[in-house]
Amino acid sequence: MAVRIVFLGPLADLAGCQEMKAKAPLDWQGLLEMVGAKVAGQLQEERVNIACAGKVLADKTQLQAEEGDEVALLPPVSGG
């Protein structure tokens, strides 16, 4: 098993895929390296959140994904 990275909304368009696998353990720096420059730039925006193992992280730079975890990249919510 590995860490599953799921790209949601416009982040999937930037990544060119809906998901990818990463070797565990996966931290913030490893995530930025995995997703490529365009997505990494978006992830560093304050309005973009990250969920790991079903919980939205209060501080995404503290990401510590382990074997079998899902990391969801959550774009800003829009709408009225």
pTM of the model: 0.93
- Rounded CA-CA distance 66/63 in Å is 10
pLDDT of residue 80: 54
Q: What is the pLDDT of residues 2-19, one digit of tens each?
A: 999 999 999 999 999 999
Domains and CATH numbers, the chain: 3-74 (3.10.20.30)
pLDDT of residue 78: 66
Q: What is the pLDDT of residues 21-71, one digit of tens each?
A: 999 999 999 999 999 999 999 999 999 999 999 999 999 999 999 999 999
- Beta strand 49-52 pairing with 55-56: antiparallel
Q: Buried (b) or exposed (e) across 19-45, using 16+ Cβ within 10 A?
A: ebebeeebebebbbebbeeebeebbee
